[in-house]
Amino acid sequence: MKRILLLLGGTTALLLTMSLEAHARCGDAPGDAAALASARAAIQTSCGCPTTAGSRAAYLSCARGVTANLVTSGALPSSCRSSVVRCASKSTCGRPGAVSCCRTSRTGKTTCSVVGSAARCKAPAGGSACVGQYASCCDACTATGCRPTPTPVPTPTPTPVPTATPPIPTLAPLPALCRPLIGLPELATVPFTVTQGSTDCGGAGFNPPPAPPYSGDVRDAASVKLGDLGEGCLYTGGFPPIPIPAGNTAMLAVKGVGLLDVKLGGSDGNGPRDCTKGAGPDAHCLNGKPGTDGQGACTSDAHCGGGKGTCQYDANCFFGPPIPITSFGACVVNAFQSDLCGNVNLLTTQATFATTISARVYLTGDQAQPCPLCASGACSAGKNAGGACEPVGALGTSPDCPPADTAFLGSLTVPISELGTGTSTLDADASGLFCSGQSAPGALGLPAAREVTERGAGFGASGSLLGMRLAGTFCIPSTGTFLDTVAGLPAVGAVSQRGELDLSQVLGLP
């Protein structure tokens, strides 16, 4: 009898487990959103979105094949298979003249369907309708209607004299903190070296949470702590947090020395690995398209195939080496979009810096090693495979070893107007929204979030070496691309970074 009961118990547990697995929904697990986004991007890369007659069956076959391969390899949970296929099926791909149509009923419920033409996108009785600007119904509609139209991409007007049309997005303006430094001579250069913070920044939505030390927290409306922010981590909306590698050095130009303060600006440093100057003036296609000269030169996204954000100013300096995001199979290359500048007050032991970062995301699909490595002085893969390199930081990656252009997914503009040793806090409004244009309440993957705080730390001096923690909170604007869906943009961003500023060169100035 005991053996029979054990057998029945084991069978019941097995059936319960099978039942739970069968009813698991896409989105239940922390990594589902990233896997879903990665799979859809892989379909876009492999299958495109054809608009010719007779291509529908081939497109759907390709999409199902890519999805099946991702499930087999373990990159996509089986519970998300139907979601990926549904997004491909409910699209205009392979349907010439078709449009996505967002219909809102008189009760305010919005649904999406694909119809044969814009003329067939008609409003229900007492409701409204609009033609979506995205191919798939998974992207076309919001809860109240159509997702906002992407900013039109201007094209240069043909004239006998070539015009310099700025790329899209336009170059970030110099932060207000930096503008008084324009035209001032460089008196010396000083290094800021990133030191070790959290050894694990955790996952999206704080699942898993970061490892200590912490630099801030997220709280709800009752001021109950929902999660800790890891020191040395960059948070960008719903993306998994990005670790800032220790050991990276950024050179800054001394632009002024007062009795009690030092003014710092962007420097050419020793080259792309440690300089802090903004991007430009030239621009190229980040996705490997030939551009206007066959070498990728561009003045608008139209020269790069039309994908928004594909034409960008050339990065001159990088905010650390490329960073692998293993959970997403992606590699993030952080480039300075504008100069890094700052002010250090020796009396109050406080410091403030400002810059704009362009976080360029490459979907390499290699979750084991998303970024090329610099091994034995040569790049292991990517755009410069086999080329000479020098590793930066402990991860073994290098600005000399960028991912292949064909893996480019999109870029996030991260405007950090104040990165300082003080406390930086963002509060939500009565609706739970932090940023202009934000569509859903909450922050950093936590719907209940109503306050995000990062705490810097004033420096302690050891001779001319100033150790400090810089921290800031900010809003990340919409990219107008697929990344908006992945990261929930516009959204809250937060960052902290511990490091040491060496002012030994300043002490010898007159």
Residue 51: its pLDDT value, please? 76
DSSP class per residue in 184-200: PPP-EEEEEEE----S-
127: CB partners within 8 A, 6+ apart: 103, 104, 105, 106
Reply yes or no on whether the pLDDT at 290 is more than 60: yes
Residue 197 identity (one-letter amino acid): G
Reply yes or no on whether the pLDDT at 372 is more than 50: yes
> Which two structure tokens, joined as six digits, stand for 224?
């109950």
Is the link from the previous residue into 372 a cis peptide, with omega within 30 of 0? no
> Which of 385-418 are b and which e, b meaning 16 or more Cβ less than 10 Å from the residue's Cβ?
eeeebebbbebbbbbbbbbbbebbbbbbbbbbeb
What is the arithmetic mean of pLDDT over 25-51? 77
Q: What is the average pLDDT value for the chain, to the nearest integer?
A: 83
35: CB partners within 8 A, 6+ apart: 70, 75, 76, 77, 80
Q: Coil, strand, or helix at residue 389?
A: coil
The Cβ of residue 74 has, within 10 Å, a number of other Cβ atoms equal to: 10
Check if the beta carbon of residue 93 is closer than 8 Å to that of residue 73: no
The Cβ of residue 207 has, within 10 Å, a number of other Cβ atoms equal to: 13
What is the arithmetic mean of pLDDT over 17-30? 58
Residue 245 identity (one-letter amino acid): P
Residue 174: its pLDDT value, please? 63
Residue 253 identity (one-letter amino acid): A
Residue 9: its pLDDT value, please? 39
Q: Coil, strand, or helix at residue 4?
A: helix
Reply yes or no on whether the pLDDT at 170 is more than 90: no
38: CB partners within 8 A, 6+ apart: 70, 75, 76, 328, 329, 330, 363, 365
105: CB partners within 8 A, 6+ apart: 111, 124, 126, 127
Lowest mean per-residue pLDDT among 122-131, 409-418, 431-440: 409-418
At residue 46 the predicted structure's pLDDT band, cuts being 50, 70 and 90, is low
Check if the beta carbon of residue 293 is closer than 8 Å to that of residue 270: no
Between 151 and 111, the higher pLDDT residue: 111
Residue 395: its pLDDT value, please? 82
What is the arithmetic mean of pLDDT over 133-147? 90
Is the link from the previous residue into 208 a cis peptide, with omega within 30 of 0? yes
Reply yes or no on whether the pLDDT at 19 is more than 70: no
Residue 171: its pLDDT value, please? 56
Give the helix/strand (H/E) hosting 424. strand 423-427
Is the link from the previous residue into 510 a cis peptide, with omega within 30 of 0? no
DSSP class per residue in 352-419: EEEEEEEEEEEE---SS--S--EETTEE-SSTTTT-B----STT---TTSPPPGGGEEEEEEEEEEEE
Angle of helix 81-89 versus helix 56-73 axis, rounded to 10: 160
Q: Is 265 exposed, middle or buried (0-12, 13-18, 19+ CB in 10 A)?
A: buried
At residue 4 the predicted structure's pLDDT band, cuts being 50, 70 and 90, is very low
Q: Please name which of 100, 91, 17, 109 lies closest in space to residue 47, comparing C-alpha atoms.
A: 91
Q: How many helices (H) and strands (E) does the chain have?
A: 7, 24
CA dist., res. 153 & res. 507, Å (int) = 50
CA dist., res. 276 & res. 341, Å (int) = 8
> Which two structure tokens, joined as six digits, stand for 138?
């998974």
Beta pairing partners, 378:
375, 388
CA dist., res. 343 & res. 180, Å (int) = 11
Q: Please name which of 366, 359, 365, 401 lies closest in space to residue 380, comparing C-alpha atoms.
A: 401
Residue 149: its pLDDT value, please? 66
CA dist., res. 162 & res. 157, Å (int) = 9
Q: Coil, strand, or helix at residue 86?
A: helix
CA dist., res. 358 & res. 319, Å (int) = 9
Share of the chain above pLDDT 90, in %: 45
Residue 18: its pLDDT value, please? 37
Residue 27: its pLDDT value, please? 78
CA dist., res. 78 & res. 43, Å (int) = 16
| CA quadruple 496, 498, 499, 501: dihedral sign | positive
CA dist., res. 281 & res. 314, Å (int) = 7
Angle of helix 56-73 versus helix 32-47 axis, rounded to 10: 140
How much of the chain is in helix, strand and coil states, percent to nearest 5?
20, 30, 50
* Range from 171-180, 328-337, 370-379 that averages highest in pLDDT: 370-379
Give the helix/strand (H/E) hosting 323. strand 323-325
Beta pairing partners, 302:
none
With helix as H, strand as E and coil as C, how does 244-279 read? CCCCCEEEEEEEEECCCEEEEEECCCCCCCCCCCCC
